[in-house]
Chains A and B, each alone.
Chain A
Amino acid sequence: MNFKLISDISRSLLVARWRQTLVAAIGVTFSITMFITLLSFMSGLNDLLDGLILNRTAHIRLYNDIEPSKHQPVDESNEYYKSYNFIRSIKPKNDRLEIYNSGAIMAALKKDSRILGVAPKITTPIFYNVGTTDLTGVINGIDVEAENQLFKFSDYVTSGNYIDLKNIPNSIILGKGVANKMLANIGDVIQVTTSKGELMKLKVVGFFQSGLLDLDNVQSYASIGTTQKLLGASNNYITDIQIKLNDILTAPPLAKEYERLFGVEAMDIQTANSQFETGSSVRSLISYAVGITLLIVAGFGIYNILNMMIFEKMDSIAILKATGFSGKDVNLIFITIALSIGIFGGLLGLIFGLGLSNAIDQIPFNTASLPTIKTYPINYNPKFYMIGAIFSIITTYFAGYFPARKASKIDPVIIIRGK
């Protein structure tokens, strides 16, 4: 009942000064619109850039590395075994890069509930033979279906059909840069040499474009079977096991666990790509800072208008107090005014923000390095809308707080006697 009366008085005061009210509300609307658009756009870009690497990178990669022996002969000496020894004489031996017992490891991983999927891989350096010159390169032998399922392989195959890699024996998908240098077209047969000197002819079934030029100039893809044949290895030869997890944040501890469990090297994505996370968080920080600045400016607009309103309505406030409205009631009236400006303006801002980010989403954005992107990226995360709504209410509350307190302290005697 009492609140109804107060909201009624607030509404009347608002309507009486509807032009100023509108200007204040537009200020809030504008800032919320920009806040939403800026964050959606910035976050869309972040996701795009992160996706360039993160989508195609395993959360944990199991592999064997060539390392010097951790246990050196000097440690065996009775005289020095307690000392810190610098003498290292055993060089890395010609160890196999193969993961031992890969079949069993894969079977064990597939049963682990924390894991989304597992894809085996062989990475091997080769030479592409172009006329009389050789280009250095890398062939990734992949399980085509698993690779596509976990790392969206087909997104990056710009021409040709990715599944041909599995269906056509001795086929290869060339990196775009490599293909350009070799003047190779789909259907051509190219020749590669392994590091051990073996020659092999492969049929080009597609081109691959990752968006990272360095990668496209070097890498090509073949099926696991083709790669094993190329290396003359048995059909359980695998150099990498790529693991995708349900929760990316569990990668570092799980990597340690697998390292111990399977006796292999395990690299988690956070360690391998820490620079991306830093970049994303700094960009988000900047967009939040700009958005909040806009809101604070809008808050000052509301503050000004309320101050003016209180100055104009001094008489009304005095008579309300003389006839039994307490300072608290007057305070509530002005807070209600500020909050309704904030809620109304904020709501419109959310709607316009959605509209504007949608409009940006329609703008064509074609770049050679990003084959899957056709328009500017936008992230429609409800979180931004929540933050925008909460901030519009908080800033308008504070913008109303000080004028309202001033109004509640007005002494009716001074106003009434002043006439």
Chain B
Amino acid sequence: MSNKILESININKFFHDPLTVQVLKDINFSLNKGEFASIIGKSGCGKSTLLYILSTMDTDYDGELFIDDVIIRGKKEVELAKIRNEKIGFVFQFHYLLNEFTVLRNVMLPGLKLGKYSEKEVEHRAYEKLKILGIEKEALKKANQLSGGQKQRVAIARALINDPLIIMGDEPTGNLDKKNSEIVFEIFQQLVKDFNQSLLIVTHDNEFANRTHRIIEMEDGKIIRM
């Protein structure tokens, strides 16, 4: 059994509108269980594009992608949704919490969708994730009553709810101040250390990247360091 949880082989990606531009060129890399990796590079180098391909949300590419040794090409939309639900946790630059729901409910939603545990168990698990992130006191507030840093921590809790194979982040600290960025980074580090969680974070914050285990640097659609 290989330790690779994510592998990309010769991934190429073109944008066709307005002109055909190659944004990713022969991306080959793999990620092992428990790795804390970051992708850095200048704006427009294709790092976010790569992340969306790796997260199965973008299916328009050439080359092959394996998640947990399963080939992604040719899967139906419903199957991809299931993979995202079960194996991938997301943290975006913006928190994207649903304001209609409480914090607890926001964290529970992907768990309820998975349907592996009963509602009671999902609720219990959501509480535990919130406790890891130190915001269990806010559980019953509406999402829009929290501060920016708290919201981002709720978003991380939501990413953790189904014990994903990997957490992917797209500039998760991009909208936060220094102090909150620090908190988020420490949480990530704790997750790696205590739970052997794999993380793949896109960032343009070099200081953040330097403290991760592995840096993947991109330039003009190519990986130049990994």
A interface list, Cβ under 8 A from B: 1-2, 5, 9, 12-13, 15-16, 315-316, 318-329, 411-413, 416-417, 419
Beta-carbon contact of B90 and A417 below 8 Å: no
Binds A, one of B63-71, B75-83, B183-191, B213-221: B75-83
Is B57 in contact with A323, judged by CB distance below 8 angstroms? Answer: no
Contact B112 A5 (CB under 8 A): yes
B101 / chain A contacts, CB cutoff of 8 Å: 12
Q: A412-B57, A413-B57 are in contact. Are A324 and B81 (CB under 8 A)?
A: yes
Q: Given A13-B100, A15-B100 in contact, is the A325-B81 Cβ separation under 8 Å?
A: yes
B99 within 8 A of A: yes
In chain B, residues 79-137, which have Cβ atoms closer than 8 Å to a Cβ of chain A? 81-82, 84-86, 90, 92-94, 96-101, 109-110, 112-115
Residue of chain B at shortest CB distance from A9: B109
In the complex, which residues of chain A have a beta carbon less than 8 angstroms from the beta carbon of B15?
A: none
Q: Is B52 on the interface with A (CB-CB < 8 A)?
A: yes
In B159-175, the 8 Å CB interface with A consists of: 162, 170
21 contacts between A and B (CB under 8 A): A12-B101, A315-B94, A318-B96, A319-B96, A319-B97, A320-B109, A323-B84, A323-B109, A323-B110, A324-B84, A324-B85, A324-B110, A326-B81, A327-B77, A327-B81, A329-B81, A329-B113, A412-B57, A416-B94, A416-B96, A417-B52
The 3 closest A-B pairs by CB, nearest first: A324-B85, A326-B81, A319-B96
User: Which B residues are CB-close (under 8 A) to A16?
Assistant: 99-100
User: In the bound complex, how far is the Cα of B112 from the Cα of A5, in angstroms?
Assistant: 7
**Chain A residue at smallest Cβ distance from B155:** A319
CB neighbours (8 Å) of A13 from chain B are 100
Do residues B78 and A326 form an inter-chain contact, with CB atoms below 8 A?
Answer: yes
Using CB atoms and an 8 Å cutoff, list the residues of chain B in contact with chain A: 48, 52, 55, 57-58, 77-78, 81-82, 84-86, 90, 92-94, 96-101, 109-110, 112-115, 158, 162, 170
Q: How far is the CA of A319 from the CA of B58 in the complex (A)?
A: 14
Q: Are B85 and A419 in touch, CB under 8 angstroms?
A: no
Do A417 and B110 contact each other (CB < 8 Å), given the known contacts A326-B77, A326-B78?
Answer: no
Known A-B contacts A323-B90, A323-B109, A325-B113; A416 and B170 likewise in contact (beta carbons under 8 Å): yes
Chain B residues contacting A411 (CB-CB under 8 Å) are 57
For the complex, give the distance between the alpha carbons of A15 and B98 in Å. Answer: 13
**Number of cross-chain contacts by CB at 8 Å:** 78
Q: B112 to A413, Cβ gap below 8 A? A: no
Q: Which of A2, A315, A328 contacts B96 (CB 8 A)?
A: A315
B98 touches A319 (CB 8 A): yes
Q: Max chain A CB contacts within 10 Å: which of B78, B100, B114, B158?
A: B100
Can you add 19 more A-B contacts, CB < 8 Å, to A324-B113, A325-B113, A416-B96?
A: A5-B109, A13-B100, A16-B100, A316-B96, A316-B100, A319-B92, A319-B98, A322-B84, A322-B90, A322-B96, A323-B109, A324-B85, A325-B85, A326-B77, A327-B77, A328-B78, A329-B81, A413-B52, A416-B94
Chain B residues whose CB sits within 8 angstroms of the CB of A12 once the complex forms: 98, 100-101
Q: A316-B98, A417-B48 are in contact. Are A324 and B112 (CB under 8 A)?
A: no
A245 to B170, CA, bound (A): 81
Which partner residue on chain A sits nearest B97 by CB separation? A319
Note all chain B residues with C-beta closer than 8 A to A417: 48, 52
Residue on A with the closest CB to B82?
A: A324
* Alpha-carbon distance between A323 and B97 when the two chains are bound, in angstroms: 11
Q: Quote the shortest CB–CB distance from A247 to chain B (angstroms).
A: 54
User: Which chain A residues border B158 with CB–CB below 8 Å?
Assistant: 323
| Contact across chains for A323 and B85 when beta carbons are under 8 A apart | yes
Question: A419 touching B93 by the CB < 8 A rule?
Answer: yes
**B110: A residues at CB distance < 8 A:** 323-324
With a cutoff of 8 Å between Cβ atoms, the chain A residues found around residue B48 in the complex are: 417
* Bound Cα distance from A323 to B52, whole angstroms: 13
Q: How far is the CA of A320 from the CA of B85 in the complex (A)?
A: 10
Nearest-Cβ distance from residue B76 to partner chain A, whole angstroms: 9
List chain B residues, Cβ under 8 A from A323. Answer: 84-85, 90, 109-110, 113, 158
Point out the residues of chain A lying under 8 angstroms from B90, CB to CB: 322-323
Beta-carbon nearest neighbor of A14 in chain B: B100
Q: In the complex the two chains form, is A324's CB within 8 Å of B115's CB?
A: no
Shortest distance between the CB of A310 and any CB in chain B (Å): 14
CA distance A417 to B94 in the complex (A): 10
Complex Cα spacing A1 to B110, Å: 13
Most chain B CB neighbours (cut-off 10 Å) among A1, A318, A319, A324: A324
B113 adjacent to A5 (CB under 8 Å): yes
Contact: A416 with B92, CB < 8 Å? Answer: yes
CA distance A328 to B115 in the complex (A): 16
Name which residue of chain A comes closest to B158, CB basis: A323
Interface centre among B48, B55, B113 (most CB of A within 10 A): B113
Nearest A-chain residue to B80, judged by Cβ:
A326
- A contact residues around B112 at 8 Å (CB): 1, 5
- Which A residues are in CB contact (< 8 Å) with B93? 419
Chain B nearest Cβ from A415, distance in angstroms: 9
Task: Closest B residue to A321 by CB, please name it.
Answer: B81
Residues from chain B with a CB closer than 8 A to the CB of A419 are 92-94
**Most A CB atoms within 10 A — which of B48, B82, B112, B158?**
B112
Closest to B86 in A: A324
Report the minimal beta-carbon distance from A105 to chain B, rounded to whole angstroms: 75
Q: How far is the CB of A306 from chain B (nearest CB, A)?
A: 16
